[in-house]
A and B are shown apart, each in its own frame.
Chain A
Amino acid sequence: KAGVTQTPRYLIKTRGQQVTLSCSPISGHRSVSWYQQTPGQGLQFLFEYFSETQRNKGNFPGRFSGRQFSNSRSEMNVSTLELGDSALYLCASSTRTGLDEQYFGPGTRLTVT
């Protein structure tokens, strides 16, 4: 089975712009979660989607949003980018909702200048 794929792998944006990241889960997985990893804060949960519905949400501002399509692929959008949004964004998939035993993708490295 192919693993979780994320595109693009690297991205450079300027402050104020918006960005969309994409995640394709493992075939058959209906849950997709997004995480932000920064050196200072470690891994932080953003949100989880299951069957096109947001099931869980972490403590991030409304500039961070996401959606899931009927084929379980998910996108994450960050609007009005700030320097502090520079991070590795990880996507993880699972067969069921809830956040255990997820399979992570390689991440998208976002740099905001």
Chain B
Amino acid sequence: DQQVKQNSPSLSVQEGRISILNCDYTNSMFDYFLWYKKYPAEGPTFLISISSIKDKNEDGRFTVFLNKSAKHLSLHIVPSQPGDSAVYFCAASVGNNDMRFGAGTRLTVKP
């Protein structure tokens, strides 16, 4: 069963604007969430994480928001750059065990 869902397979934004990638989960036991970025022919690259005790974590242009009541997290990229074009996976785990990934969202940032 898909415990982590990324309902948008693709997203296109203009350079300089905000990119918002969304992720929903069903398992309320998840307590650690991560975002990975993946370029073609490369393995995923860790981007940013957040534990369930927080509702926001920021790292440069990347901010992850966690809404536990809605079982929803989002990744904001501001400002978006063409180099951000990639597939983004969200992932969740219970105590760092058996990580579950979403299906990914392909972000295209147009110059």
Contacts and interface: CB of A to CB of B under 8 A. Distances in A.
A99 to B, nearest CB: 4
A104 B45 contact: yes
B98 A98 contact: no
Interface residues of B, number: 23
A4 B44 CA distance: 12
A99 B49 contact: no
Contacts of B44: 43, 90, 92, 104
Given A56-B98, A100-B49, A101-B49, A42 B103 contact: yes
A107 B39 CA distance: 12
B42 A98 contact: no
Contacts of B29: none
A99 B97 contact: yes
B98 A42 contact: no
A103 interface: yes
A67 B100 CA distance: 22
B90 to A, nearest CB: 10
Contacts, number: 57
B66 to A, nearest CB: 15
Nearest to B46: A101
Interface residues of A, number: 24
Contacts of B53: none
Contact of B98 (A4, A58, A105, A106): A58
B42 A106 contact: yes
Given A42-B103, A101-B34, 19 more contacts: A35-B101, A41-B103, A42-B101, A42-B104, A43-B91, A45-B100, A45-B101, A56-B97, A56-B98, A58-B98, A90-B43, A92-B44, A99-B96, A99-B99, A100-B49, A101-B46, A103-B46, A104-B42, A104-B45
Interface of B: 32, 34, 36, 41-46, 49, 89, 91, 93, 95-104
